[in-house]
Structure 1
Amino acid sequence: MSVTKSHHYDVVVLGGGTAGELCARELAAAGREVALVENRLIGGESPFFASVPSKSLLHAARRGETWETAIARRDELTCELDDAPATARLEESGVTVLRGYGRIARAGVVEVDGAAYGYADLVVATGSEPVVPEVEGLADAPVWTSDEALTVPDLPRRLVVLGGGRVGCELAQVYGAFGSQVTLVESAPALLAEEAPFTGELLADALRRMGVDVRTGAAPAKVERSDPGLRLWLSDGSLLDADRVLVATGRRPRTRGVGLAAVGVTTGPGEPLRIDETCRLHGRDGLWAAGDVTGMKTAHAAAYQARVVAANVLGKRRTADYRALPRTLFTTPSVYAVGVSPRRAENEGMDLLSAGYDLAATVRGRVEDAGPGRVELYADRSTGKLVGAAAVGPYAEEWMGEIALAIRAEVPLSVLTDVAHAFPTYGEAVEAPLRELADRL
């Protein structure tokens, strides 16, 4: 199919999620002629589109609001993220929105529902899709993913959440707080298995205190419809009854059908696209990728990559540095992690030195009591630099930001230990472990 001059763009972006939308906006603002291709929601289904409603519901639960009030506010907030307003904002910023299913036809050409468009640069930002585990009977059961759980008005009486990662834990707390009888099932021995052990332990305790039945070390083995609802058998032999199953066992990059082979890019099913430090796809000129499709799992990570791509397309060389991208749960209490975790250090053979501090003394007497909390900081013994941190505590995502900056900027411990924090604040909690690390290195 030939490409006419009127159908040629400086940049075509495949995917209108967090990464794609932001990248398109920045390039259009810089004067590039940009087209964005999307056949689903502008703004994306995950992670950004899910972030606003989940945080809204968690905040409503913290305030003790009713379910009806909570979903009304959720819907009011997310209406600004709905497809039509988001599309209008993009077009107002100078981006041409091409509605339909886009695929790469050949180098320099994409097809959108049969129409051909040329490009000089192509950004693949096709996002990710939920992974539903292969469990007998699960495909025939009334299953939710996070997409349904954060858009429908239903409040199941009995809910089973499969997956003890970030999404599963947040949604278990949301529904548990509003009265659902929630069972959270995680096949690993603990929640948040990739993070510092104390984070999963403290979060599991917090969930149990609010009535969530946390089952670790067990996986779903079989699902059957019952009257009424569903019946689940777990690998440990236990039996659960539910009205709804919410699957939060992970997501995989959406690469199928994109046409990557047409430009010489091959990847296995569910594998992330390989990019270099500039987010260039497979090192090929004019091909870029950002967001979930590269293995990113948070909205802020996708946005970070989008800005890296935009800068490089504009000829302003920028490299991505992933050492200090936060990993957060907006539960009560919040969970925050950044940089190297103890598990990763063990897998990579790093000699990690850790120091911790319990928040009990810091939070005593505060208006808000979110239960036990802790901060741990990790330094690389070979370099003497701070490389990671984890925290559980009220609004930890707010007051741990300085540690992310310290890791990214490689701030010496001697400087960090000389910083005075306002009293009384949660930020004081980092002072003791910083001094301990400085003394031990």
Structure 2
Amino acid sequence: MDHFDVVLLGAGSASEWIWSHLTGKSIAVIESGRVGGECPYVACIPSKAMLRSAHVRRLVARSFELGATSMPFEFDNGSAAFAVASKRRDRISENRNDSNASRELADAGAKLFRGFGKITGNGTIGILVGGKLANEISYDALIIDTGSSPKIPRVAGLASTPFWTSEEALSSSVLPESLAILGGGAIGCELADIFSAFGCRVYLIEGFEHILPTEDGEIVAVLRNALRGYGVKVVEEAKVSSVSYNGGEFCLEFEGRSTISSEHLIVATGRRPNVDGIGLEALGLRPNPRGIQVDEFCQVLGAENVYAAGDVTAVAPFTHGANYQARVIVDHLMDGRASASYDAIPRVVYTEPPVASVGVISGESSDSNREIVIAWMDLGSTARAVADGETKGLLKLFLDKGSRVLVGATAVGPNVDEMISEVSLAIRAGVSIDVFAQLVHPFPTYSEGFEPPLQRLLL
């Protein structure tokens, strides 16, 4: 039986960071899918490539308004443009081929085992190919990075229909005439933005009070209005009772609402950690559909020398969150004492306009002894927004009055996906509002929008 210092179960973003930075140890990687996980091939990168094409298309549509052309621009066929955008997407995502990533893994000195990894005991893991045990290796430390999968709701008739998940939606080169998206979270909103830009009739359906249910309602209102301006039919507080597919058309029935019909249906109702079948029971652990619990060093609770990172932990389920956990694990394996803190990890929805948040974004604190003060700014009133012809945007800052340190921020508008890191740093470093408010931003920039609310929070 081959032995390794470290075995990575799954080759996602966290694992890629680990095998690229962990030195002086023998490393094995077990992966049944693509090396690099979903992000480079069917998730983050292809979606951002398509969003770029969609946003440029919308910007070109404003060329006359913004003085770039002497007359309104006449667009080509949306379906043809979508096909071209898809070719660019596939080129950027390496046509969903992991050959380069596999080569980089080998160049880093790690050994790749193709197959499904299943823990067989404390310190051993089997590699299954075609459902049969093909190999077994041992380890000193195990890192679980098995990612997540789409969560499919239990809706009558849905399972028997040819619905898409985000993977199929981001792999297709054919633009449907109409599309229903079940789920108004980050993935659903981004897909609605993409498909509507090319002329597809889109229904964005959310069961909760508003799309992006975990975000601030005032922030969401700005995005909702933008999507509706693009022609997206945003349907909120809608409970789907059944789904059927006949004659090339989906039919969605609702409780107390009119039926929606569309050529295609995307299910984007969240994701679930991949914990089933990987042999957690061999470590004395019971698979939890809410993810593997870890401590501040990303060590799995109840297991010795076992770590977990990425979506499988359901903590900060973003690529940057996974990479952060990977850094903590590498430090710990190298006898460091770095520990994970998730208070300052930002989250972004890359729509037009983007939505970005970090930390506490509510005036109600779970700590009864902490008073939260809120200040806001209309980003559409900044000098840069006026020059750019951007009229919509909102920034809200949340201050712990007692400590005089920001605990959160949320924003919608141009460039907020980049601006949010300024608040992340302030939270992480515990920067006093008295210091933060002295920061001078270049004129004219959107980040100047921080200054008025920061000054108000000084009072």
TM-score scaled by length of structure 2: 0.90
**Aligned partner of residue 400 in structure 1, secondary structure:** helix
Equivalent of 2:136 in 116, 121, 145: 116
Structure 1 unmatched ranges of 5 or more? none
Equivalent of 1:282 in 297, 301, 307: 301
Could you say which residue in structure 2 is the equivalent of 1:256? 276
Tell me how far apart the structure 1 counterparts of residues 454 and 360 of structure 2 sit (CA, whole Å). 16
Q: How many pairs were matched up?
A: 430
Deviations, residues 320-357 of structure 1 (Å, cap 9, x unaligned):
011110110111111110011218x4566553211101
Tell me how far apart the structure 2 counterparts of residues 275 and 227 of structure 1 sit (CA, whole Å). 48
Could you say which residue in structure 2 is the equivalent of 1:142? 162
Equivalent of 2:267 in 247, 253, 267: 247
Structure 2 unmatched ranges of 5 or more? 61-80
TM-score scaled by length of structure 1: 0.94
Deviations, residues 252-287 of structure 1 (Å, cap 9, x unaligned):
11000111111122233x121111100011153311
8 A contact 1:291–1:305 mirrored in 2: yes
Deviations, residues 160-196 of structure 1 (Å, cap 9, x unaligned):
0011111110011001111110000001111111111
* AA of the residue aligned to 1:162: L
Judged with a 3 Å threshold, the aligned counterparts in structure 2 of structure 1 residues 293 and 47 are, in CA distance, closer, same or farther, namely farther
**Aligned partner of residue 292 in structure 1, secondary structure:** helix
Could you say which residue in structure 2 is the equivalent of 1:171? 191
| Bigger shift: residues 117-126 or 195-204 | 195-204
Tell me how far apart the structure 2 counterparts of residues 329 and 19 of structure 1 sit (CA, whole Å). 21
Could you say which residue in structure 2 is the equivalent of 1:35? 28
Tell me how far apart the structure 2 counterparts of residues 406 and 185 of structure 1 sit (CA, whole Å). 36
Equivalent of 1:203 in 219, 223, 233: 223
Tell me how far apart the structure 2 counterparts of residues 106 and 383 of structure 1 sit (CA, whole Å). 48
8 A contact 1:38–1:101 mirrored in 2: yes
Could you say which residue in structure 1 is the equivalent of 2:98? 83
* AA of the residue aligned to 1:317: R
2:351 pairs with 1:325:
no
**Aligned partner of residue 143 in structure 1, secondary structure:** coil
Judged with a 3 Å threshold, the aligned counterparts in structure 2 of structure 1 residues 432 and 367 are, in CA distance, closer, same or farther, namely closer
Equivalent of 2:242 in 211, 222, 240: 222
* AA of the residue aligned to 1:174: I
Tell me how far apart the structure 2 counterparts of residues 348 and 328 of structure 1 sit (CA, whole Å). 26
8 A contact 1:17–1:48 mirrored in 2: no
* AA of the residue aligned to 1:275: V
**Aligned partner of residue 144 in structure 1, secondary structure:** coil
2:325 pairs with 1:342:
no
Judged with a 3 Å threshold, the aligned counterparts in structure 2 of structure 1 residues 408 and 360 are, in CA distance, closer, same or farther, namely same
**Aligned partner of residue 88 in structure 1, secondary structure:** helix
Which residues in structure 2 correspond to 1:426-437 (within 5 Å)? 426-437=446-457
Tell me how far apart the structure 2 counterparts of residues 252 and 365 of structure 1 sit (CA, whole Å). 39
2:406 pairs with 1:406:
no
CA RMSD of superposed structures (Å): 1.7
**Aligned partner of residue 423 in structure 2, secondary structure:** helix
2:290 pairs with 1:297:
no
Judged with a 3 Å threshold, the aligned counterparts in structure 2 of structure 1 residues 43 and 179 are, in CA distance, closer, same or farther, namely same
Judged with a 3 Å threshold, the aligned counterparts in structure 2 of structure 1 residues 136 and 371 are, in CA distance, closer, same or farther, namely farther
**Aligned partner of residue 193 in structure 1, secondary structure:** coil
Equivalent of 1:152 in 172, 193, 206: 172
Could you say which residue in structure 1 is the equivalent of 2:83? 68
* AA of the residue aligned to 2:89: R
8 A contact 1:328–1:335 mirrored in 2: yes
2:121 pairs with 1:106:
yes
Could you say which residue in structure 1 is the equivalent of 2:395? 375
**Aligned partner of residue 189 in structure 2, secondary structure:** helix
Equivalent of 2:110 in 81, 95, 117: 95
Tell me how far apart the structure 2 counterparts of residues 218 and 177 of structure 1 sit (CA, whole Å). 24
Could you say which residue in structure 1 is the equivalent of 2:377? 357
Equivalent of 1:272 in 291, 302, 309: 291
8 A contact 2:183–2:204 mirrored in 1: yes
Could you say which residue in structure 2 is the equivalent of 1:126? 146
Could you say which residue in structure 2 is the equivalent of 1:51? 44
2:8 pairs with 1:13:
yes
Judged with a 3 Å threshold, the aligned counterparts in structure 2 of structure 1 residues 290 and 317 are, in CA distance, closer, same or farther, namely same
**Aligned partner of residue 156 in structure 2, secondary structure:** coil
8 A contact 1:355–1:378 mirrored in 2: yes
